[in-house]
């Protein structure tokens, strides 16, 4: 798995890592039980502070995406039941949807077009998920400024 960070994107580096690990897991590029790089290796590879890498892993573990095995490292958890209550999961998703709706409004996207685009993206996601080795699209790495 190759992660990339963009230091000028405005998105905190640890959140970029969280998002990319989640995307890799959802797309099938990471399978349950797959090992993630150590905090030290990730920090060196991305040229970031170890605390930033550790924070990303802490967030992923808190969300139930990965598990830390003492002395062995971090691994992708089985994608079974999320440790978060349904109300919390729904609330998080609703916030993302609200953000999407605001963006669509500002771009003057009609509701019907937004629904069609959502259906198209769901279908594309399901196809990538069912592909045997689905690649995860990642942007090119930028250098620190």
**pLDDT for 93-116, tens place per residue?**
888 899 999 999 999 999 999 999
pLDDT at 139 (0 to 100):
47
Would residue 33 be called left, alpha or beta, if left means φ above 0 and alpha means ψ between -120 and 50 degrees?
left
pLDDT at 126 (0 to 100):
85
**Global pTM value:** 0.62
Residue 24, CA distances (Å) to 88, 102, 111, 112 in order: 22, 27, 29, 30
* Rg of the chain, C-alpha, whole Å: 17
Does one domain contain both 8 and 76? yes
Does one domain contain both 69 and 101? no
- List the structure tokens of 123: 């279908």
Question: Which of 81, 105, 124 represents a domain boundary (last residue)?
Answer: 81
Does one domain contain both 43 and 16? yes
pLDDT at 28 (0 to 100):
75
Does one domain contain both 19 and 76? yes
CA separation for the pair 93, 87 (Å, rounded): 10
pLDDT at 16 (0 to 100):
94
CA separation for the pair 144, 25 (Å, rounded): 27
pLDDT at 134 (0 to 100):
46
The segments of the chain whose pLDDT lies below 50 read 83, 134, 138-143, 145
């Amino acid at each position: 798995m190759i992660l990339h960070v963009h230091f000028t994107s405005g998105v905190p580096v640890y959140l970029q890592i969280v998002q990319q690990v989640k995307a890799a897991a959802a797309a099938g590029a990471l399978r349950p039980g797959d090992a993630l790089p150590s905090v030290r290796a990730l920090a060196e590879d991305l040229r970031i502070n170890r605390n930033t890498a550790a924070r990303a892993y802490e967030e992923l573990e808190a969300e139930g995406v990965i598990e830390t095995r003492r002395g062995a490292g971090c691994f992708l958890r089985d994608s079974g039941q999320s440790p978060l209550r349904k109300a919390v999961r729904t609330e998080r998703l609703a916030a993302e949807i609200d953000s999407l709706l605001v963006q669509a409004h500002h771009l003057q996207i009609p509701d019907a077009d937004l629904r069609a685009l959502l259906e198209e993206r769901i279908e594309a996601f399901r196809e990538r998920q069912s592909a045997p080795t689905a690649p995860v699209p990642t942007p090119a790495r930028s250098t620190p400024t």
